[in-house]
Structure 1
Amino acid sequence: MSQAPLVLVDGSSYLYRAFHALPPLTTSKGMPTGAVKGVLNMLKSLRKQYPDSPFAVVFDAKGGTFRDDMYAEYKANRPSMPDEMRVQIEPLHASVIALGFPLLCVEGVEADDVIGTLARSSAAADRPVVISTGDKDMAQLVDGHITLVNTMTGSTLDVEGVKEKFGVSPEQIIDYLALMGDSSDNIPGVPGIGPKTASGLLVGVNGGLTELYAQLDIVPTLPIRGAKNLPAKLEEHREMAFLSYQLATIKIDVPLDIGLDDLHLKQPDAEKLIELYTELEFKSWIADVERDAKRAGQVIAQEAPAAPTQEQDYVTILDQATFDVWLKKLNDAKLIAVDTETTGLDAQKAQLVGLSFAVKPGEAAYIPLTHSYMGVPEQLDRDTVLRALKPLLEDPTKAKVGQHAKFDINILANCAIGGDQANGIVVQGVAFDTMLESYVLDSTATRHDMDSLALKYLGHTTTSFQDIAGKGVKQLTFDQISLEQAGPYAAEDADVTLRLHHALHEKLQAIPSLNAVLTGIEMPLVPVLARIERQGALVDAKLLGVQSVELGDKMVALEREAFEIAGEEFNLGSPKQLGVILYEKLGLPIISKTAKGQPSTAEAVLAELAEQDFPLPKVLMQYRSMSKLKSTYTDRLPEQINPRTGRIHTSYHQAVTATGRLSSSDPNLQNIPIRTAEGRRIRQAFVAPKGYKLLAADYSQIELRIMAHLAKDEGLLHAFRNDLDVHSATAAEVFGVDLSDVTTDQRRSAKAINFGLIYGMSAFGLAKQIGVDRKQSQAYIDRYFARYPGVLEYMERTRTQAAEQGYVETIFGRRLYLPDINAKNPALRKGAERTAINAPMQGTAADIIKKAMVAVDNWLTASGLDARVILQVHDELVLEVREDLVDQVRDEIRVHMSEAATLEVPLVVEVGVGNNWDEAH
């Protein structure tokens, strides 16, 4: 049996590559962590790949090396390490050690030299070696025993691989580097000699530098471009070439205090890892560590949790007497936590399996109703239990708390007591939702699922669903899980929900403005969204089918057009084939490359090429647009029609976006494109039932109005108060013309300026959008600020406040924290500043539409009118209204939506009516 290879990891190489190649990641306190996470991910992957191998993770030590003594300019032109990278070194080293990897830093030499020494000594003992690195210098070490692996790209280099990649053998790599030099390390090499010339010279003389300089007379005969001039150049730089050889040579005789027997992996230090991952906010990894430690039988000493815990008193209720005792407890408790267990996650299709309750921390119960596995104990009668619980759950004076309570509200509304679909439980009195409490407290600090919140605020790792149900295709539904496992799991859900509420409620009470957002905006919206989701929207599946066929025909025609332009057939969905056609055959300019160095065919790149009037990218953009519409909407929407209701039921999410805006999924109705005719046609498939109309009510230019309110700029205030076309008014100011003389192009440019400034658009971005040079666009922006000085003052004031306090607020007090607002990295800081300027507008718009939804729902409920909200998209509400009530509802909804907030300028609501959504909008 062959030995497991020694795995040597070039930690310094991966630190640099992870820092520059991966998206920046920071903690809520602004500490950069992206490079740490990237390197640790790579190490975990290697550990799985080589479970029986000895390991060493090698980093450069602080201070200079012998190469600096040899050549003072060595690495002199390498920029100093960014502060954002430097602060990650210490936690990375600590995490590597805590994971059980031997870590080496040897003073006076580089990581390469330590790796070279260990690799060659291991190879001499006939042990295979894998060096994990992205550094080409390491290719000199490759031999029959030593292989390079680039874990970030998945590529491997053996002897033949080195020859194929560099054109020379591993034995010639040092000579190759000496000739061509290395700008990153400031190894000089011979000026003017690049990779092809270097490999050509070495292959031509069948040797290295010594053989080359001994045969300079044959160099002019070699099949190398400019070969006649090379002997003189080589002679002139002979000394520098041999110095470069010494600099590029990896030492293989570094004195080390450890041997191969010392390089075995250790058991991870769970306590230290939890401490480090907590500081780094790698929350999902903490749960993994705790589970692994539990499986290994380790006991982890934890700090006291943020909220008090009692001994767990969990009950699974299977008899009437116990149920009666708990029913009294529920009625006597001031606040109860409620949770449902179901057969799935689609609230409109899933079936209720059981309910759990908690009356105080540590005291919870699960009532199983429909578990159906072989040998399941007898359970209480489902309908009897639900009828007994119905008065309690429907009592608006009985305060309840849930985690993502909207799901439980919908499940219980659809529970069909006695088989009557109309006879569900209309839950009332949901006073708190821990998901929303966390979200309002800080939308960006953590995920808002129960497992993440329990770990963050209670120091508690919950039992995951996968722990009891399994994974993948063999995963059980909850009704198939034994009560011995299901009972404690479900009771824990209710218990943790109650404990989380106590921890989060205290934090929110300390910040009254945030508590007001929770109680005045988010919680009242929960039952409203639940009703909208249950109502659903009527969709014409036949019309969508016709549209799918038409889109398919257009895609075929576009595919043929693409083949004609390319001069051959190819797979339009293959980035590799597309890259060959675009860049090798058609010779289009390479705008950007992938992480693996290949010319990119991403949508943004194709869009830029299309703007430059290259025909194939234009066709490809159209093809991709049609394909997305077809696969995401016209093909998919008919499949998402609920067979019970005949409608589509999207799910709205309150705790996803950082700014407070709602999002939707299954299907996502927020992203249906409306700028193309094909996209608008999809809205035509959302139809009114017979005898009804669809009414769409949309706030007009709400974010610009909020800008006027926040900036208190007299020019903008005047335009909105006098019901002027704000884009024309801006054009008149910026271009210095009378309002009546504003042209269509001027208005279009002014509109781009108005909205561009809200989203932090630069002069370069504006120039690109309106088709002028950067100097002209900057002049427009300068003139805009001169005419609207209040806007500039608002922006500068907001940047300053954000930097000082670390967050910005909406008009209603919602906060958006900005961890990068004081980052030393200019790109991160500028991005945070743009967010700081935009978030109060976007967040206030989100708050206003939420308040409007609650007001409209209250009005419709109180009036008893045959009308209901069926969709919410951005700043728009779509209602289904009985035909004879359209005029009344149109007038009333304008009032309720426009009064949702009081600003310095009026809120204008535009209302349209039609037989389908497109007509109404």
Structure 2
Amino acid sequence: MTKTLTIIDGYGFLFRAYYVLPGLSTTSGLPIGGVYGFINMLLKYLTGYLVIAFDTGKKNFRHEIYHGYKANRQKPPEDLIPQFAILREAVSAFNLNCEEVIGYEADDVIATLAKTHSKYDDLKITVITADKDLFQLIDEKISVFDPMKNKYITEEDVIAKFGVGPDKLLDLLALTGDASDNIPGVLGIGVKTAAKLLTEFGSLENILENAHQIKQNKCREAILAYKEWALLSKQLVSLATTVEIEGDLEKYRIKAPDIQKLTNFLKKYEFKSLIPRVQKLFSHEIQIHNEKNIVEYSNENLLVFLDRCKSEGKMALYLHEESKTLSIAYSENNLFCIEQDNIEPSLKLLSPILISKEVLKIVYNTKDLRKFLPEIDVVDDVMIMSYSIDTGKHDHKLETIIKYNLDIEVTESSAQALILLHNKLKQKLLSQRLFTIYERCERRLERVLADIEKQGILVDAEVLKELSEDFSKKITLLEKEIYELAGEEFNIGSPKQLSHILFDKLSLDKGKKAKSGIYSTNVEVLEELAADGQKIANKVLSWRHFSKLKNTYTDALIGQINSSTKRIHTNYSMVATATGRLSSNNPNLQNIPIRSEEGNAIRKAFIAPEGYKIIAADYSQIELRLIAHIANVLAFKNAFAEGKDIHAITAKQIFGMEEKNLSESLRRKAKSINFGIIYGISPFGLAKQLGITKNEAAEFIDHYFSCYPEIKVYMEEMKLYAKSHGYVKTLFGRYCFIQNVNSKIAHLRQFAERAAINFPLQGTAADVIKKAMVRLFDRLKTGKIILQVHDELIVETAEAHVFDVAKLMQEVMENVINVPLKIEVKVGNSWGSMEKITNLI
């Protein structure tokens, strides 16, 4: 479990808090606004380890270097001066540690504490400050939080403000100087110029050494004239990281204060509104971490506890997987545990409150819990709340959510943790304007998915068995042919043995070596060899194809058929993707091949019961329609409005081919270009996809952007937005966090940039189909949703209701969002044999 060390810039924050509440004073006229603001902030960080850094108020080593250091600093306001002593008194009353060292500033103490403790792998360090000088510290282990803006200052924020990252901020400040501290810098050099120079030369020393190469005359002359000032300024803005500070990390562990002493302090300075908050806070610390206040089990005690839940209007429930214990809480200070043997007889007592609409149930993973408590209603799910806030930022295991939001360990009092989590996450949903995403989409979707999983889809096991036997015969025949071409038998599934046969024995052209040290036999290598006429490579590709169909699909699916229902009941994860899309597992029904003949044959095993039909409604070109709307691509918007073939239009633009003369092959290429480019495909990737040269692909991409310039603008805007914010948004406001978008490693950064382009489209498409599922579920009375696959919804209904259900699906799915969406509706006896319904309008 990661621990947190919080380092607070004591006087720095006091100054800022003072200017928020400058006129606040006691009845006797003693000013207290700054201290009040400080304590308000402090109450948010009283977990883990904490230390407050202070200035001594005396001269430090910088004054010895430069006598003019801070010479123009004005004295603090008169009504702030007495608050310095009150702040020290507050720190003592809260039983907190502080550090100050003569000869150094608080910034140096903070830098030393942060750097010294960053060596601990399991320790997260947060510096609470708004001081730009301390932004130099930001790295993977050290975060800076600005309490006035209520946000973490990320590397992207530093780049957005200064034009360079934290690692170059020291050199930038040396060039620009700082008027507030009377640090000279280089006269005439501002932030933009400094950032430009550092981008070009890399460091202050390189700039000074190569000053004669600077093209701009004024800039070059300034650097040459003020070289010594720049070096002096760097000394002044450098943070000392080796200040002698006694004690180790344990010294800063937060310890419970003397409640009476603390209360007396708060009364003395008339902080009356803080007294109940402080008492509750430290009462919570005792209950959660020590006594837990667990009520002993009995039916009578359970009824009393449930009555209290009713009066509180909320109840957290957590089922512990290992111990099979159900814990219940109505506050962070009270817990009721029902051991495994007592759960069954307790359900009758729990039932009325589980179905009550007057009591909010707070849980983790409602969908799984519903299998155990199917009656549960009126639920807030912290797993889904967390995903709605931090899509793609981290996983959403309970331990992770607690670590990111509470910084306490998961114990048997997890129901109590759910109460605390719920409070925190609800505040985030509201403050980040994500409550609608959670409330109207994700929260309601859970019940829809639970119903889909329960319903399942009927499967004809005999069809799968026949396919499996057919695949086995083809695999056996291919093995025989491969052995003949190789001149010996070997394990075709072994990359090492296959590599030996292809490159050592048969001496085929070698590709690149894999990490294992052997020559790669991946798909790309085999496809190149097959294209060169190597029969054995083509046979191995076919062998792999049929082996995967048999092992991953036909054989595996047979084992997944429920013996009672004769259906396959997949499981949907709501929190697994970075874009908001659902994922299917046990088994994964979203990756059954669709374009191959064999894949379609597998789909034919998914059937409708006698007297029923399967209806599949699939969004047509949804991501192209969305980019037309988001990027305002006029040519696309006009084409969609007029019902024209968008791929034929692109073929005309790129290849100069009229639609009446357009071959299916060229249309497929245009389709690849349309979808490939909006996914950020490279010339290399497009060349490979179309079987053309890289130069030809680059020309296609350039021509495409000249035809649709709005798409290029959109792509660049999304990359810049992701780099400065760390995320992009869907049309519905969902945050999709982008990892590595500012990475110095090219392939990681390029992948992230492609994600920044694609996520708003994929994420919006995900939101659209989720909202459609919720609305369809509410209105569908004569059928059941049995499957969701990417942009497709599949419903099972009686034959007599096919037209009405198809009409309803069209109405619901095409009207989720104010974008002209279209769906293609098909009906059939199986998922693999369907016909279009064309008369719905």
Paired position in structure 2 for 1:94: 119
Q: Deviation per CA, 1:510-541, whole angstroms, max 9, x where unpaired?
A: 111x2221122111111111111111111111
CA contact 1:363–1:495 (8 Å) conserved in 2: yes
Quick one: which of 434, 443, 448 aligns to 2:396? Answer: 448
C-alpha separation in 2, matches of 1:666 and 1:504: 30
Paired position in structure 1 for 2:334: 363
Quick one: which of 498, 502, 506 aligns to 2:427? Answer: 506
2:458 match: secondary structure: coil
C-alpha separation in 2, matches of 1:780 and 1:273: 61
**One-letter amino acid of the structure 2 residue matched with residue 428 of structure 1:** D
Paired position in structure 2 for 1:408: 369
Alpha-carbon offset, residue 804 of structure 1: 2.4
Identity between Structure 1 and Structure 2 (%):
40
C-alpha separation in 2, matches of 1:737 and 1:575: 45
CA contact 2:392–2:579 (8 Å) conserved in 1: no
Quick one: which of 279, 293, 308 aligns to 1:329? Answer: 308
Alpha-carbon offset, residue 825 of structure 1: 3.0
2:508 match: secondary structure: coil
1:311 match: secondary structure: helix
1:338 match: secondary structure: strand
Paired position in structure 1 for 2:752: 832
1:458 aligns with 2:406: yes
Q: Which shifted more, 729-738 or 906-915? A: 729-738
CA contact 2:684–2:694 (8 Å) conserved in 1: yes
Equivalences for residues 420-431 of structure 1 within 5 A: 425=375, 427-430=376-379
1:881 match: secondary structure: strand
C-alpha separation in 2, matches of 1:314 and 1:635: 52
1:600 aligns with 2:511: no
**One-letter amino acid of the structure 2 residue matched with residue 442 of structure 1:** D
1:635 match: secondary structure: helix
CA contact 1:799–1:836 (8 Å) conserved in 2: yes
C-alpha separation in 1, matches of 2:628 and 2:833: 31
C-alpha separation in 1, matches of 2:116 and 2:656: 57
Paired position in structure 2 for 1:564: 484
C-alpha separation in 2, matches of 1:498 and 1:93: 32
1:532 aligns with 2:452: yes
Equivalences for residues 302-451 of structure 1 within 5 A: 309=285, 311-312=287-288, 313-315=292-294, 318-341=297-320, 355-368=326-339, 370-371=340-341, 379=342, 382-383=344-345, 385-413=346-374, 425=375, 427-430=376-379, 432-451=380-399
2:592 match: secondary structure: coil
1:551 aligns with 2:522: no
CA contact 1:448–1:655 (8 Å) conserved in 2: yes
CA contact 2:295–2:301 (8 Å) conserved in 1: no
CA contact 1:810–1:840 (8 Å) conserved in 2: yes
* 5+ residue gaps, structure 1: 1-89, 99-268, 276-303, 345-352, 372-378, 414-424, 464-488
Paired position in structure 2 for 1:65: none
**One-letter amino acid of the structure 2 residue matched with residue 615 of structure 1:** K
C-alpha separation in 2, matches of 1:307 and 1:794: 52
Describe the shift of the 1:97–1:854 C-alpha distance in structure 2 as closer, same or farther (beyond 3 A).
Answer: closer
Describe the shift of the 1:585–1:788 C-alpha distance in structure 2 as closer, same or farther (beyond 3 A).
Answer: same
Paired position in structure 1 for 2:534: 614
2:714 match: secondary structure: helix
C-alpha separation in 1, matches of 2:514 and 2:691: 28
Describe the shift of the 1:670–1:314 C-alpha distance in structure 2 as closer, same or farther (beyond 3 A).
Answer: farther
C-alpha separation in 2, matches of 1:859 and 1:307: 48
Quick one: which of 780, 790, 796 aligns to 1:880? Answer: 796
CA contact 1:305–1:458 (8 Å) conserved in 2: no
**One-letter amino acid of the structure 1 residue matched with residue 361 of structure 2:** K
Quick one: which of 560, 583, 595 aligns to 2:503? Answer: 583
CA contact 2:313–2:358 (8 Å) conserved in 1: no
Alpha-carbon offset, residue 697 of structure 1: 0.8
Describe the shift of the 1:305–1:796 C-alpha distance in structure 2 as closer, same or farther (beyond 3 A).
Answer: farther
C-alpha separation in 1, matches of 2:428 and 2:283: 11
**One-letter amino acid of the structure 2 residue matched with residue 448 of structure 1:** H
Q: Deviation per CA, 1:95-122, whole angstroms, max 9, x where unpaired?
A: 5999xxxxxxxxxxxxxxxxxxxxxxxx
C-alpha separation in 1, matches of 2:252 and 2:517: 35
Q: How many residues align?
A: 569
Describe the shift of the 1:805–1:94 C-alpha distance in structure 2 as closer, same or farther (beyond 3 A).
Answer: closer
1:896 aligns with 2:821: no
Alpha-carbon offset, residue 621 of structure 1: 1.7
1:872 match: secondary structure: strand
Describe the shift of the 1:306–1:320 C-alpha distance in structure 2 as closer, same or farther (beyond 3 A).
Answer: closer
Paired position in structure 1 for 2:547: 627
Q: Which shifted more, 727-736 or 884-893? A: 727-736
Describe the shift of the 1:878–1:305 C-alpha distance in structure 2 as closer, same or farther (beyond 3 A).
Answer: farther
Describe the shift of the 1:759–1:612 C-alpha distance in structure 2 as closer, same or farther (beyond 3 A).
Answer: farther
Alpha-carbon offset, residue 308 of structure 1: 6.2
Describe the shift of the 1:691–1:343 C-alpha distance in structure 2 as closer, same or farther (beyond 3 A).
Answer: farther
**One-letter amino acid of the structure 2 residue matched with residue 437 of structure 1:** M
C-alpha separation in 1, matches of 2:313 and 2:431: 22
Quick one: which of 704, 708, 720 aligns to 1:800? Answer: 720
Paired position in structure 2 for 1:684: 604
* RMSD of Structure 2 on Structure 1 (CA): 2.8
**TM-score, normalisation: structure 2:** 0.64
Paired position in structure 2 for 1:914: 828
1:915 match: secondary structure: strand
1:571 match: secondary structure: coil
C-alpha separation in 2, matches of 1:855 and 1:307: 45
* 5+ residue gaps, structure 2: 1-114, 124-247, 255-279, 836-841
CA contact 2:460–2:607 (8 Å) conserved in 1: yes
Alpha-carbon offset, residue 343 of structure 1: 8.4
C-alpha separation in 1, matches of 2:766 and 2:283: 32
Alpha-carbon offset, residue 335 of structure 1: 2.2
**One-letter amino acid of the structure 2 residue matched with residue 908 of structure 1:** K
C-alpha separation in 2, matches of 1:791 and 1:870: 36
C-alpha separation in 1, matches of 2:691 and 2:252: 53
C-alpha separation in 2, matches of 1:515 and 1:613: 58
C-alpha separation in 1, matches of 2:646 and 2:473: 42
CA contact 1:309–1:361 (8 Å) conserved in 2: no
Paired position in structure 2 for 1:780: 700
Alpha-carbon offset, residue 894 of structure 1: 0.5
**One-letter amino acid of the structure 1 residue matched with residue 405 of structure 2:** Y
Describe the shift of the 1:533–1:317 C-alpha distance in structure 2 as closer, same or farther (beyond 3 A).
Answer: farther
